[in-house]
Amino acid sequence: MTEILVVDDSKVMREMIVACLRVGEDFTFTHAASGLEAIEKLALKAFDLVVLDLNMPDIGGFEVIEFIRGQDKLQRLPVLVVTTRGDEGSRVRALAAGASQFMTKPFTPDAILANVQSMLRLDAAGFHE
Amino acid sequence: MGNAFDASEFLAGFLVEAEEHLSASTTNLLAVETSLRKGENNPRAVRELFRSLHTIKGLSAMVGIEPIVDVAHAMETVLRKADRAAGALSTNAFEALLAGLRAIGERVRALSTSAPVAPAPPQLLDALAALEITQDASPATVELVLDAGLSAKLSATEKAQLLQGAESGRRALRVDFVPSPARAAEGTTITSVRERIGAFAEIVKVVPLSIPASDTAPGGLAFALLVLTDATNEALAAAAATQPEHVQVLHTRRVDGADPLAEPEAAEEDVGEGRKRGIVRVEVARLDDALERLSALVITRFRLARAVDALAAQGVNVGELGEIVKGYGRQVRDLRGAIMRARMVPVAELLDRVPLIVRGLSRATKKPVRVVIDAGKAELDKAVADRVFPAIVHLIRNAVDHAIESPAERRRLGKPEEGLVRVTCFERSTNQLELGISDDGRGIDREAVAHRASRPVPADDAGLLDLITLPGLTTLDHATKTSGRGLGMDIVKRAVVELGGELSLGTTPGAGTTFTLCIPLTITIVDAFSFVCGEQTFVAPVAAIEEVVEVVPEALVRGPSRHTRFGEVRFMERRGEIVPLVNLASVFSLASREEPKALVVRRNGAALAFGIQRMVGQQEVVIRPLEDPLVKVTGVSGSTDLGDGRPTLVLDLVALSGALSQNRTEVPV
């Protein structure tokens, strides 16, 4: 069982992400509608991967990433940042803050699924030290 | 590019959220206007507006409603500038933004009634693009007293908001909420706490803080809520499930001199600004050299990891050593990223020349054409940029020459007289860039193309693309106007494929065509020899090969006892030097072991010759890493496409010779 936390303030966007990822996989999904909710859930429960939007009402994705990488127990957690086109400048910032991968909306189901699977594989192989 | 997203499933959800964001945006925009009349800025409303439009843009992009993407993008650009100017907006900007919200609203409603969605109104886009936002430069003389950790998490706008609130007589307070599973089970979470406090206080910011884990704080987490309110400490504490004495008042103090609020924003902008300020021109070859040296570090890292594993196997406690190795691995990876980034150029800079090209074509063809470029802040490896730019120009030329109709024809079709060429660019993932070149012209007529190519009519756009990129098609097709697409598409396709990218096509007769180029952000290009060995083709960088020599079997000397798994090591004489000869096919366990030629490489001063079947040629190749560039197979530095569509392995013969001389019985392939 792979626990995935999907963080986006847009409900329909979360549903789209889950729809992309649920295909034939042993994934369970937890939704978080805000950065703060995501941080709370991460502090209280263990997840295998986070799909994270950068643009959120309370605290942005950067702060969530910084929080994650500031926690010893979350050092290795794979974080896939998903954001809207036009934000390419954020990419470097997100990766510098500690995001593992970066994708731009719109994306295809294949692309996000492949990304998530490869991140989980790398994680299993110990590459996200 | 994978299958298209089935947007219809999410349309209902999209409509609901788009309406929500539109109504929130209207409220926020009106709040901006109210502040404007009072001569004040409203940074919070501006930020909320920005966020809503950004969300609308992202959702519309996912469900493929480009006109809304366009309007939202133009509005977002204005609001981003306004946000950086601490929320300053002019009356003109207000009017244009209001028109933008109306335009989005109309299109959302069209979608909800399944009516066609009108394109983005060009006048509106122009009006939004023309807006100037000026920075409000009044220096602040008061600042908040906050501990450094908290202060660093607040933006200038948020600090200004707290100060403004405190100055206008409300109390600026901090209250901490500590989440736990027990509280979550009772329904007390940061979300519910925020709702409760939000009912009687303005929450300016919530900052997550790591605290030592304890029985009361099992998650090791606290949230500091910074609020403006007239409510009592008791009410606030109750809402945050804490004690009134834990509510802190945020004090302010006078400051002199420079504007302390400007500082964090400036730091945020450093990435872009710094590049403008201090540019150093560096030959790409020097960066490649740095990368080369880095790969030695990577090898050291693997050796280190192996040595640690060996220690662990002997029962030694390697905990800390293991951590150091991991940390070292991370640093090496970061360093690699840093070097790769140094090779990047902004795509916007690459596309700077496009409007000029379009203007020239527009004049030559007497067709008015507007060009829209949305390159964001994407960056691209210099080498990729140089190789892909001709393909972009080619597609643009085709669009203006052939796809866009004459003004008279467009008038007759009910299209705006001015044609539209759009170049967009965004990053698909960490190493993929998507470039789109679209026009609102006549589209490509499948049947006409099929007829000219004397082929069956393709079933879909992918089949059509295959047809128009046929090398022979261009010479057949002189009257290109009937097919809507012109010359040399095979050249475009080849350029993209050689980069390891993908070309795709979407076209609607009468409405327009979009070509999409998915290309890698970075590549490595080397001048390489191609050769055959064991009936397979390989390439190896020219720079690594000292000489290609003939092997004269009679002149070979057998080694004393150097039998290895990959055959026998023999020696040849070359200008007075004795050089070991290894059959390359044997190293890779290939069947045919002919070796009339040999490639001589030198490592640490010692020469080694690899016997091969025959030389094929010399050319520049694009090396694509096999997988993670740091997971190396010794002797193989990547793969390339020699133009036959099949992957060809790129050999690193120097590294291979190193591996062979280190351990002659174990071949790491």
**pLDDT tens profile B378-430:** 888 887 888 888 888 888 888 888 889 999 999 999 999 999 999 998 877 66
Question: Across chain B, what does the average pLDDT equal?
Answer: 80
Which of B520, B543, B570 is a domain's end point?
A: B520
Tell me, yes or no, if A95 comes closer than 8 A to chain B by beta carbon.
yes
Does the residue B669 lie in any domain? no
Q: Which residue has the higher pLDDT, A25 or B502?
A: B502
- One domain, residues B311 and B428: no
For strands A49-53 and B512-520, give the pairing: unpaired
User: At B346, which helix (H) or strand (E)?
Assistant: strand B344-346
Does the residue B136 lie in any domain? no
Nearest chain B alpha carbon to A42: B219
Please give the domain boundaries of chain A with CATH numbers for all domains: 2-124 (3.40.50.2300)
* CB distance B293 to B286 below 8 Å: no
**A window 2-31, beta carbon within 8 A of B:** 9-13, 15-16, 19
Does the residue B301 lie in any domain? yes
Q: Give pLDDT, residue B486.
A: 46
For strands B647-651 and B536-541, give the pairing: parallel
Report the share of chain B in percent with pLDDT over 70: 84
Count of structural domains, chain B: 5
User: Edge-to-edge strand order for the sheet containing B419-429?
Assistant: B369-374, B419-429, B432-439, B512-520, B502-508
- One domain, residues B16 and B70: yes
- Enumerate helices (H) and strands (E) in chain A, giving the number of each: 5, 5
Closest CA to B482 of B512, B514, B452, B457: B452
* CB distance B480 to B487 below 8 Å: yes
Does the residue B115 lie in any domain? yes
Distance CA B552, CA B580 (A): 14
- One domain, residues B381 and B498: yes
Mean pLDDT of B239-250: 85
CB contact under 8 A, B2 and A13: no
Distance CA B598, CA B586 (A): 13
Beta strands in chain A (DSSP E): 2-7, 27-32, 49-53, 79-84, 101-105
Length of chain A: 129
Distance CA B195, CA B198 (A): 5
Distance CA B214, CA A10 (A): 34
* CB distance B432 to B518 below 8 Å: yes
ipTM: 0.82
Domain range for B361: 346-520
Nearest to B51 among A57, A93, A129 (CB): A57
- One domain, residues B253 and B175: yes
- One domain, residues B354 and B337: no
Distance CA B121, CA B101 (A): 12
Question: Which residues from chain B sit within 8 angstroms of residue A33, using beta carbons?
Answer: 191
Amino acid identity, position B468: I
Q: Which two tokens stand for residue B633?
A: 């197979």
Does the residue B272 lie in any domain? no
- One domain, residues B360 and B329: no
**Whether pLDDT at B69 is above 50:** yes
Does the residue B274 lie in any domain? no
- One domain, residues B411 and B465: yes
Task: Identify the CATH number of the domain in which residue B565 sits.
Answer: 2.40.50.180
Angle of helix B11-37 relative to helix A11-21, nearest 10 degrees?
150
Does the residue B549 lie in any domain? yes
CB contact under 8 A, B5 and A106: yes
Task: Identify the CATH number of the domain in which residue B58 sits.
Answer: 1.20.120.160
- One domain, residues B115 and B152: no
- One domain, residues B639 and B576: yes
- One domain, residues B321 and B351: no
Query: Hey, is B398 helix, strand or coil?
Result: helix
CB contact under 8 A, B429 and A36: no
Which of B501, B520, B539 is a domain's end point?
A: B520
Which of B129, B151, B176 is a domain's end point?
A: B129
Task: Identify the CATH number of the domain in which residue B400 sits.
Answer: 3.30.565.10
Query: pLDDT tens digits for B14-34?
Result: 888 898 899 889 888 888 888
- One domain, residues B352 and B382: yes
Kindly indicate the confidence band of residue B483, based on its pLDDT and cuts at 50, 70 and 90.
very low
Amino acid identity, position B469: T
Nearest chain B alpha carbon to A39: B208
- One domain, residues B166 and B259: yes
Q: Which two tokens stand for residue B451?
A: 């007829």
Does the residue B181 lie in any domain? yes
Nearest chain A alpha carbon to B9: A16
